[in-house]
Structure 1
Amino acid sequence: MAEIQLSAGTVSYEDTGGDKPILVLIHGVAMDGTLWRHVVAKLREDFRCIVPTLPLGGHRRPMKEGADLSVAGVAGLVAEFLEQLDLRDVTLAINDWGGPLSLVAQGRDQRIGRLVITSCEAFDNFPPGVPGKNLVMSAKMPGGLNFAFQTLKLKPMRRAPMTWGWMSKRPVPHDVMDGWLSQLWKSPEIRRDLRKYILGVPPREDLMNWAEKLREFDRPALVVWAAEDKVMPPEHGRKLAELLPRSEHVEIADSYTLIPEDQPDQLSEHIRSFVLKN
């Protein structure tokens, strides 16, 4: 893992290297870049895969105390990451977390040559579904986040609808999830960072404006949605595809939100085909 200094603090990332088309793969809340491990294994021979671990709870090093870790603030770190590494004509792929869509509205999408949007927050579905609302409730209670994540040491709790049960159709391997949650279990500063994010959702008007601004993204976009998603409504995928002027839309069966976990082979092939023809 490499590290880079951004305005909010130190961010770690995986970079498979090489002079190949660049994929930057973005994970969601209380995860790290290993969400994309199966996709990276499939695509690394043909693409340079760069996978940052953002300050969304699965990170290892706390951010600066005064860092802006709101939804828009963390999305801005994605743009800063691309700028610091001087990455251009990037294919930006997101799953679960929809914050990077705001980069179009912020006018910080110049380095993005293509978008791959897989099941994620969109429109006013921030925080998303039952798991998201459970996190917000926990973040508002003193000690609530600590309690919520300590319960996930009990493996059966990981498949409850209010936690991870509706996120992936197949259980995330326990060793992978342990890695995602380890710092949330023991670091008050990491929980502080996550609390900032959870409570930093902008007003509904701003969220809807982010979506509307996608009409101005004039580069190729691929929208891949889980047909059985219980947290990110499939109709949101269809609506995003309608907004984007140069979009393709695919629904993947037998998957929930975390398509990189449930159907990495199909997702990898859709990404490969999309990038190579665009």
Structure 2
Amino acid sequence: METTDFYGSKTINGVEIYYEHYDHPSSTETVVLIHGFLSSLFSFRHLVPLLKERFSIVSVDLPPFGRSGHSPMFKYSYKNIAYTVVKLLEELNIPKYHLIGHSMGGQIALNILYHYPNYAEKAILLCSSGYSKQAKRPLILASYLPFFHLFIKQYLARSGLEKNLKNVVYNQSLIDDKMRNGYLSPFLENRIFKGLTGLLRHREGDLPSSSLREIRTPCLLIWGDHDKVVPLEVGKRLATDLAHSELVVLKETGHLVPEERPNEVYQQIKTFIFG
């Protein structure tokens, strides 16, 4: 049985959201894929074909990443981005689902669990960001300068795509031209840098321990033991603060677990959701 695949955009909460919807013909379970910072739904390219065997899927480009839009009126706080994802799923008439969030996407998933607790049945957090603070006030004030987005563009250009990719994967041989192009393409347009300025300005910081302890949704945490971006210690701390959670550690794996270990991640997700 094949899924019915749909690719499209909807204006949600004042901004254009690009998404891909794979509707399984018989499964009653839907998973929602939420990517990380400086990424897009491209980061789930190896996981989606596996998930399609057992689940319906909604994969979302968070604004301003991927093919989603940017609006100067949009508030790029984690709470508002979480609300936007929830509203998109309401528009798609999907009342219940499981969240799969990678890196910053894990923090968006946690915001959904905390602020909108009656929607997601379970959550899978892949190397989720955690405990990061809000940007310092001088930097927030500087973000109001007219050409600040160009400073962000210059900063990211100096850091270099190749260096960033080597930082997020343990097995360097996985880095090929398809991966390079997939992660570079969203940054060829200036609009994303204006959106990143908004994210720097509006991001309220990750949920504190006091908020995490109120979350009652079952959570599976999957981490790479060589994660240089969000170290394993963060995963261990989240596993302590989240009351109904378990932590799985993948050996010889970096931050980009959906790219590096899609089969292992899929098996863990399947077991966690179906029991």
How does the TM-score come out when normalised to structure 1?
0.82
Q: Structure 2: which 5+ runs fail to align?
A: 1-6
Residues of 2 paired with 1:125 and 1:41: CA distance?
35
Deviates more, 1:48-57 or 1:138-147: 138-147
Out of 71, 78, 83, the position equivalent to 1:64 is 71
Residues of 2 paired with 1:61 and 1:34: CA distance?
13
Match of 1:219 in 2: 217
1:6-41 superposed Cα distances (whole Å, 9 cap, x missing partner): 013111111111242111111012211111111111
Match of 2:30 in 1: 22
Match of 1:77 in 2: 84
Superposed, 1:150-189 pairs within 5 Å as 150=157, 157-160=160-163, 163-169=164-170, 170=172, 171-185=174-188, 187-189=189-191
Paired AA for residue 165 in structure 1: K
Match of 2:236 in 1: 238
Match of 2:263 in 1: 265
Deviates more, 1:16-25 or 1:65-74: 65-74
Q: Say if 2:149 and 2:196, in contact at 8 Å, map to a contact too.
A: no
Q: Structure 1: which 5+ runs fail to align?
A: 128-135
1:173-198 superposed Cα distances (whole Å, 9 cap, x missing partner): 3334323332422x222210122113
1:62-94 superposed Cα distances (whole Å, 9 cap, x missing partner): 322211123332222222222222323311011
Q: Say if 2:131 and 2:207, in contact at 8 Å, map to a contact too.
A: yes
Residues of 2 paired with 1:25 and 1:245: CA distance?
23
Residues of 2 paired with 1:109 and 1:177: CA distance?
37
Structure 2 CA distance for partners of 1:172 and 1:85, relative to 1, 3 Å:
farther
1:167-223 superposed Cα distances (whole Å, 9 cap, x missing partner): 1223443334323332422x22221012211332225xxx343x4323232232111
Match of 1:132 in 2: none
1:102 is the counterpart of 2:111: yes
Match of 1:197 in 2: 199
How does the TM-score come out when normalised to structure 2?
0.83
Structure 1 segments of 4 or more deviating over 3 A? 138-142, 148-152, 170-173
Out of 50, 61, 66, the position equivalent to 1:53 is 61
Structure 2 CA distance for partners of 1:240 and 1:51, relative to 1, 3 Å:
same
* 1:117 alignment partner, SS class: strand
Q: RMSD across aligned C-alpha pairs, in angstroms?
A: 2.6
Q: Say if 1:8 and 1:67, in contact at 8 Å, map to a contact too.
A: yes
Structure 2 CA distance for partners of 1:178 and 1:3, relative to 1, 3 Å:
same
Paired AA for residue 49 in structure 1: I
* 2:264 alignment partner, SS class: helix
* 2:221 alignment partner, SS class: strand
Paired AA for residue 67 in structure 1: F
Structure 2 CA distance for partners of 1:38 and 1:125, relative to 1, 3 Å:
farther
Match of 2:3 in 1: none
Residues of 1 paired with 2:84 and 2:177: CA distance?
29
Residues of 1 paired with 2:32 and 2:23: CA distance?
12
* 2:90 alignment partner, SS class: helix
